[in-house]
Structure 1
Amino acid sequence: MYERLYKKIDRLAALKWLISIARDWQQHLPCIGQILFGYAAGWPSPVMPKLLDPDQFPRAPTPMQTNWIVSIIFIGCLIGTVISGPLSNTVGRKPCLIVGGSTASLSFLALALIKHPYSLMAFRLTCGVGCSMVFGVNLVYIGEIASTEIRGMLLGSTGLFNSLGFLVVYSVGNYVPYDVINYIGMILGIVFVTGILFAPETPIYYIIRGRNEEAKATLLALGRKDDAEKVSELRMEIESNHKVKAWNTLLKVKCNRKALVITSLLHIFQQASGIGAMLAYTTMIFEISGSSITPYIATIIVGAVNLAAGFITPLFVERFGRKILLLLSTFLTGLTLLILAIYIYHYNTGNPAVLNIRWVPLPVYILYCISYSFGFGVLPATLVGEMFQLNVRSAGSAVALCISWLAAFICLSTFGYIISGSGVHVAFAIFSASCGLAFLFTIFFVPETKGKSLIEVQEMLDK
């Protein structure tokens, strides 16, 4: 029944996706982990005001401690990324997902029970370790277990489920006590781990470990009979790739070296656009800007817009060129940040003209989210998959992701110091300037990869 329906609605991607969930539900279980990651990343926005409430948090953190509580999760993400790579090849993808989800869930429980600024820092760190293990291994797990016909949809929907996590914490977090916010995070982790217990290990992991019969059994259970017949060929391909010294090839081959520099700098610019601060401090930003829309309501609207943008973004990426989208995205993102910087400066200096346009922050913020989503938010990761040679793609992706986490920590931690010392408008002006640099970098150094084969892309990078 599912097969007939699937063929009839081939052009209707949304319905196709829903039917694939019913038919291949096991392959969609990792998406719950992406919700968990988004929930943890958006946690500071509703929580920070509650940390100043003595009834909910007996010992209020200092501004410096709050800054570390918000940003230290990305140090945890960096640690988790370094750990999960080799661990997933040793013990398996599924155990890594279970360990990551359990770590995040226990961290949320500890955040609810132990109310001290330094404990918050420690458990936000461990939460970052767990969530990044889920985030990173999820991409590998989905790529290895999903059937060809839904793999693209599943990988493309990870950002959508991240946005859903943000929307959940924005919507619920502003209206429930501090403890409940963390208990919800714990429950998300438990649901994810429980789901993964019923999911199979990936056939690629079995092949890596020489367990070919188990790989075949898994592929047959997933309805991938054709792939099950090619296990021996996959084994030979994996063995040949393992003989290649990935790190040596990554740094010494010109096309890979250029790809590493381009993707790493794009990830740095991506984080320097302020996305981490904008999403973590959303409620506070609307309070500081004097928005005529209630900050909590405005935060929920922003979360809903991010979710909606997750549906729209794939249409842009596949229809237009990578470079033109990146140029348009960086330009609009920088422009919206500049408008917000100018508005907040005049609001803080008491300019009477601003009192009549207090509605400005919300639509400009929404435009920021949309312009970031359709280009800057997805294309650096897309280029990682398109610019590296196959045998070094995993290593190149790991480096780019680690640099991204480190840049996110630096940007988010310095944001707190900038707004306390110089004001939010200065931080937004810096973010806007970073987008300007990304725009110029894209013009001169980022190649167009749409419609080109891997060999053609590498030839461009070799010039």
Structure 2
Amino acid sequence: MQLPTMTMEDRNGQKGIEVGQCNNNEKSSLPNNVEPKKTFRSALPQILATSAKNILLLGYGMTLGFPTIVIPSLQPHHGNVTDLREKDTLSLTEEQISWFSSINLICVPLGCLMSGTLTQPLGRKRAMILVNVPFIVAWVMFHYASNVGMLYASLVLTGLGGGLLEAPVLTYVAEITQPHLRGMLSATSSMCVILGVFIQFLMGTMLSWRTVASINVMFPVTAVVALCFVPESPYWLIGRGRVADAEKSLCWLRGWVKPHEVQPELLQLVSSLKSHSPSNRHNVTSVSFTPSCSSWRNYTKRNFLQPYSLVAAGFFFGHFGGMTTLQTYAVSIFAQLGTPVDKYIATLYLGLVQLGGALICVILVHWTGKRPLTCVSTVGSGVCFIVVATYAYLYSSRNSYEWLPMTFLIGSAFLSHVGIRLLPWILIGEVYPSEIRGVASGASGSIGYIFGFAANKVYFYMLNSMTLPGTFWCYGAVSLVGSVFFHFFLPETEGRTLLEIQEHFEGSRNLLKKGRVSSKDPEKLGTVNPALVPDETHL
């Protein structure tokens, strides 16, 4: 099949790159001939755009940590001394508290399922701006809450908002970043959510929960302001037939350059979207690439089913490998095993190493790739849980070696966040074709939260039937099985273009055999990444 001749024009009316007739082989090789600039100036706007999006995720992380600091003040006879007024005016029964701690998570998958369908017509940027509205309303309602209904309604809003942001946030980063930066910048998403939870814990130790709620309003407001200054995804703009706007977006994202400097990449995006949108092969500039969301055929194809299965497996092994349960029930687990420090201090250490592990993942993913990090993460966390299970079976009743379970549980938290806990969130934004990326991202986030909810719900059943050692042995076994699974099925997507990744899942390219990059290219191997080194000649 041949592409029609097409000419692009820049803002000044000058002719850009002209594309003549080319066959399938030429079309497939076109992206490989476009070598993007890798300077700090070209990386800076991508970092800024990602940071604007991360403010939104920081606020979302606070919604996840907020119930933890509210519950003690709402329990009768267990109020915080700094929060006596709220304790006297509003309290919850144990049944109400159980709902208060879970309504948020129940509503997130619903928002995820709606996220893709709302993101596609609105655009990534506009969707991220609008999703701040329920967060702002929720924080105001929390501050003025006078009854249980207001608390529940606020949690529903934060849950829906958290689900709605999944598709635009994940797809935006994948679509604005260059391949050598994508993995690193995508990994900052989970790190910011973890940071938001941790900041909420710190604020809760010093301020009343109503005061914390009022302070939290400034984060979605700041996110709205920041997002107004970043461009829309060029992928989405081209998909809507707005090639001129996509050119302006690329000029901003690649270092505020001239239009002619982004013509090769713009042509690559147009060609890749055109080649995967059969209904739009005859007119790139005037016809939208946006597919009909009512068409289910796109979701029965190999290029959706395979990546969706891979992402779902990432969530499964991440949640049922024990880390979700440990994070939720850390205080009681540390109390049951015994620790040389207070169980709350041990839980604080757990939160710190989670943040540290996520930061290490962000730093290393470019240099090592995803496959090595995932292997180290799953094997390491699996071994840690097996050691703790063996200790609980042999020594827990003797009060011996109390440092051992705390050390290895904290080690499992660190190792899991180095790889497997962040892996599916990184993959979501880059493994799906553009025509289904929004809806598929929302569906992927939804299955992740469902697995997380299920992992927590079955914990007590496992504990009652297998005891704590048996439960932790099971977690260790799941992690080790996960390492084997990813060895055989996880392609190395780091440093690859979105088109190359898509071709892998379509079957025309094998990233499992080829690995990350050629060993003859030390720069691509990550030994040199000029995008991370400030270029004084450009600054």
Alignment TM class, shorter chain as reference: 0.7 to 0.9
Deviates more, 1:83-92 or 1:218-227: 218-227
* Structure label with greater radius of gyration: 2
In structure 2, the residue matched to 1:305 is 353
Q: Deviations over 1:159-210 (max 9, x none)?
A: 2222221221222223322223323332222222222233333333333333
Partner Cα separation in structure 1 for residue 237 and residue 475 of structure 2: 44
Classify the secondary structure of the residue corresponding to 1:198.
coil
In structure 1, the residue matched to 2:452 is 408
CA gap 1:120/1:239 in 2 versus in 1, 3 angstroms:
farther
Classify the secondary structure of the residue corresponding to 1:213.
helix
Classify the secondary structure of the residue corresponding to 1:430.
helix
* Contact 2:377/2:416, CA 8 A, preserved across alignment: yes
Letter in 1 for 2:126: P
Give the alignment partner of residue 447 of structure 1, picking from 475, 489, 493.
489
In structure 2, the residue matched to 1:37 is 60
CA gap 1:35/1:295 in 2 versus in 1, 3 angstroms:
farther
Give the alignment partner of residue 218 of structure 1, picking from 249, 253, 257.
249
Letter in 2 for 1:311: L
* Contact 2:173/2:185, CA 8 A, preserved across alignment: yes
CA gap 1:242/1:378 in 2 versus in 1, 3 angstroms:
same
Letter in 1 for 2:273: I
- More helix by proportion, 1 or 2? 1
Partner Cα separation in structure 1 for residue 330 and residue 376 of structure 2: 24
Q: Deviations over 1:404-439 (max 9, x none)?
A: 111122233455x659x949x947853651442342
Classify the secondary structure of the residue corresponding to 1:201.
coil
Letter in 2 for 1:293: V
Letter in 2 for 1:177: S
Letter in 2 for 1:31: N
- RMSD over aligned Cα, in angstroms? 4.0
TM-score by length of 2: 0.68
In structure 2, the residue matched to 1:238 is 273
User: Where do 1:275-290 residues align within 5 Å?
Assistant: 275-283=323-331, 285-286=333-334, 290=338
Partner Cα separation in structure 2 for residue 315 and residue 218 of structure 1: 27
Q: CA deviation at 1:100?
A: 1.4
Does 2:311 match 1:270? no
Partner Cα separation in structure 2 for residue 308 and residue 295 of structure 1: 20
Give the alignment partner of residue 127 of structure 2, picking from 96, 100, 109.
96
Percent identity, please. Answer: 21
CA gap 1:263/1:181 in 2 versus in 1, 3 angstroms:
same
Deviates more, 1:323-332 or 1:401-410: 323-332
Q: Deviations over 1:344-391 (max 9, x none)?
A: 7899x9x3x32x544445423320111211232133345556766676
Deviates more, 1:123-132 or 1:358-367: 358-367
In structure 1, the residue matched to 2:111 is 80
Classify the secondary structure of the residue corresponding to 2:491.
coil
Classify the secondary structure of the residue corresponding to 2:231.
coil
* Contact 2:171/2:430, CA 8 A, preserved across alignment: no
Classify the secondary structure of the residue corresponding to 2:356.
helix
* Contact 1:290/1:358, CA 8 A, preserved across alignment: yes
CA gap 1:375/1:426 in 2 versus in 1, 3 angstroms:
farther
Letter in 2 for 1:207: I
In structure 2, the residue matched to 1:128 is 159
TM-score by length of 1: 0.78
Partner Cα separation in structure 2 for residue 146 and residue 324 of structure 1: 22
* Contact 2:113/2:439, CA 8 A, preserved across alignment: no
Q: Deviations over 1:76-99 (max 9, x none)?
A: 221222222121221222221122
* Contact 2:190/2:425, CA 8 A, preserved across alignment: no
In structure 2, the residue matched to 1:364 is 408
In structure 2, runs of 5+ residues without a counterpart are 1-37, 280-290, 513-539
Deviates more, 1:230-239 or 1:260-269: 230-239
Q: CA deviation at 1:141?
A: 2.2
